[in-house]
Amino acid sequence: MARKNSGTPPATASARSTLALADALFSQGFGTRRECEGLVLAGLVRLNGRTMLEPYEPVTTAGLLLEVEGVAWPFHAQALILMHKPAGFECSRKPTAWPSVLTLLPAPLRRRDVQPVGRLDVDTTGLLLLTDDGALIHRLTHPKRHVPKVYQVRTARPVEDTQVERLRAGVVLHDDPSPVKVLACERSGECGLRMTLGEGKYHQVKRMVAAVGNHVEALHRSDFGALSLPADLPAGQWRWLEGPQVITGSTSTS
């Protein structure tokens, strides 16, 4: 039964269709292999209503729903999470002044090295994706992909038609000589804008609005690719996403 006691779940192991139970737990971030063996031997893991007592009993990972210490845990070879980010949290694994959004996730996901897909400012709220799939992060954040992201903006002063026109035409930011354009922009109330961006420069929405003579008072991301933030998902809560089809529009939540 001796196994190498590594602390980081290997991505390749979790992709196999059949795994030993302890290895399945290990791939999901429930600790080292020895710790996962201990969970099973202590009777803390159930499968289909049955308490599992053999750490290396084979299990099929497709559709696998584990119960660990009384908590249901669906098996995901790679984690993909949709979170409703609240204000007051940094999108960083090494935050400086505010807590990390990762503290809002359970320990197994943090052990899997789940990372935010791009960043939202500490005071920005809304849809945030997190995953341990490095290739997916690259696909969703690479500038050439132009994955659309929709932001709801509350401005300090009433929005003028000329400001909307300038945002649509493109504005020059101090660190880029080329005009930065929105994919779409429309007024949403006297002091509101709905802006769709295809790239993610530093503080881009705030800087673009400032460049046309206004100021962002509140910023909320409502859409990322084909995903919209679920109306019934409270701030600070998260849900699994099934598969990386967020770009194509076929992603579902569970």
| Burial environment of residue 209 by CB neighbours within 10 A (0 to 12, 13 to 18, 19 or more) | buried
Pairing between β-strand 216-224 and β-strand 125-131 as defined by DSSP bridges: parallel
Q: Angle 96-100-103 (CA atoms, 0-180°, nearest 5)? A: 145
- Tell me which residue has tokens 């909320």: 220
Is 113 tagged catalytic?
Answer: no
Total number of residues shown for the chain: 254
| CA atoms of 205 and 124, how far apart (whole Å) | 11
Structure tokens at 83: 């979170």
| CA atoms of 79 and 116, how far apart (whole Å) | 11
Q: How many CB atoms sit inside 10 A of residue 81's CB?
A: 20
- Tell me which residue has tokens 């849900």: 239
Q: How far apart are the first and last CA of the chain?
A: 35
Buried b (16+ CB within 10 A) or exposed e, 22-61: bbbbbbbbbbbbeebbebbeeebbbeeeeebeebeeebeb
- Tell me which residue has tokens 């090295």: 113
The residue annotated as part of the active site, out of 113, 121, 123, 223, is 121
DSSP string, 135-170: HHHHHHH-GGG---EEEEEEESSPPPHHHHHHHHH-
Q: What amino acid positions are annotated as catalytic residues?
A: 121
